[in-house]
Amino acid sequence: MTNYRITGARSAAGDPLQLNIVDGRLAAEPAPDAELIDADGLLALPGFVDMHTHLREPGFEASETVATGTACAARGGFTGVFAMANTDPVTDSVDRAAHVAELGREADNAEVFPVGSITIGLAGEQLSPIAAMADAGVKMFSDDGRCVMNSALMRRALELSAAHQVVIAQHSQDHVLAGPDAAADEASVAAELGLTGWPWAAESTIIARDVQLAELTSGRLHCCHITTAESVDVVRWAKARGIKVTAEVTPHHLLLGSDRLSGLDTTFKVNPPLRGSEDIEALREALADGTIDVIGTDHAPHDLSAKQGDFAHAKPGMLGLEQALASVVETMINTGRMTWADVVRVMSTAPAQITGTTNTQGGSLRPGEVANLVLVDPIRRAVVDREKSSSKARNNPYHGLELPDPIEMTFYSGHLSYSRR
Instruction: Tell me which amino acid residue 136 is.
Output: A
Distance CA 394, CA 1 (A): 34
Q: Do 317 and 300 contact (CB within 8 A), yes or no?
A: yes
Only one of the segments 174-182, 291-299, 395-403, 407-415 lies at the binding site for Zn ion (rule: CB under 5 A); that segment is: 291-299
Provide, rounded to whole angstroms, the least separation between the CB of residue 268 and Zn ion. Answer: 16
Site for ligand DOR in 307-336 (CB under 6 A): 316-317
Residues with catalytic function: 298
Distance CA 340, CA 333 (A): 7
Choosing from 68, 86, 228, 390, the residue that interacts with ligand DOR (CB under 6 A) is 86
Distance CA 418, CA 405 (A): 14
Query: Residue 251: is the preceding peptide bond cis (ω within 30°)?
Result: no
**CA-angle at 296, arms to 291 and 302, nearest 5°:** 145
Q: Do 329 and 401 contact (CB within 8 A), yes or no?
A: no
Which residue lies nearer to ligand DOR by CB, 145 or 197?
145
DSSP SS3 for 26? strand
Which residue lies nearer to Zn ion by CB, 5 or 315?
315
DSSP SS3 for 134? helix
Distance CA 112, CA 314 (A): 28
Work out whether 298 is an interface residue with Zn ion (CB under 5 A).
yes
Which residue lies nearer to ligand DOR by CB, 316 or 406?
316
Distance CA 421, CA 417 (A): 12
Which residue lies nearer to Zn ion by CB, 99 or 315?
315
Work out whether 270 is an interface residue with ligand DOR (CB under 6 A).
yes
182: left (phi over 0), alpha (psi -120 to 50) or beta: beta
Q: Do 328 and 343 contact (CB within 8 A), yes or no?
A: yes
Q: Do 37 and 4 contact (CB within 8 A), yes or no?
A: yes
316 is in the binding site of which of Zn ion, ligand DOR, none (Cβ under 5 to 8 A by kind)? ligand DOR
State the number of CA atoms in the 13 A half-sphere of 266 facing the CB. Answer: 17
Residue 295 phi/psi, 5-degree rounding, is -90, 125
Provide, rounded to whole angstroms, the least separation between the CB of residue 133 and ligand DOR. Answer: 20
Provide, rounded to whole angstroms, the least separation between the CB of residue 7 and ligand DOR. Answer: 42
Q: x/- site string to ligand DOR, residues 135 to 164, per CB under 6 A?
A: ---------xx-------------------
What is the end-to-end Cα distance of the chain in Å, rounded?
19
Provide, rounded to whole angstroms, the least separation between the CB of residue 304 and Zn ion. Answer: 20
Provide, rounded to whole angstroms, the least separation between the CB of residue 85 and ligand DOR. Answer: 10
Provide, rounded to whole angstroms, the least separation between the CB of residue 84 and ligand DOR. Answer: 7
317 is in the binding site of which of ligand DOR, Zn ion, none (Cβ under 5 to 8 A by kind)? ligand DOR
Which residue lies nearer to ligand DOR by CB, 211 or 318?
318
Work out whether 146 is an interface residue with Zn ion (CB under 5 A).
no
Choosing from 50, 144, 203, 408, the residue that interacts with Zn ion (CB under 5 A) is 144
Cα separation values, 120 from 93, 132, 169, 298, 319, Å: 9, 13, 15, 21, 27
Work out whether 54 is an interface residue with ligand DOR (CB under 6 A).
yes
Provide, rounded to whole angstroms, the least separation between the CB of residue 317 and ligand DOR. Answer: 3
Distance CA 309, CA 331 (A): 32
Work out whether 185 is an interface residue with ligand DOR (CB under 6 A).
no
Which residue lies nearer to Zn ion by CB, 31 or 177?
177
Work out whether 271 is an interface residue with ligand DOR (CB under 6 A).
yes
Please report, for the chain, how many H helices and E strands are present, in that order.
Answer: 12, 20
- Nearest one of 43, 44, 27, 47 to 352, comparing CA atoms: 47
Which residue lies nearer to ligand DOR by CB, 86 or 331?
86
Q: x/- site string to Zn ion, residues 152 to 181, per CB under 5 A?
A: -------------------x----------
| Interface size with ligand DOR, residues (CB under 6 A) | 10
Catalog residues that contact Zn ion under the rule CB under 5 A. Answer: 144, 171, 298
Catalog residues that contact ligand DOR under the rule CB under 6 A. Answer: 54, 86, 144-145, 171, 270-271, 300, 316-317
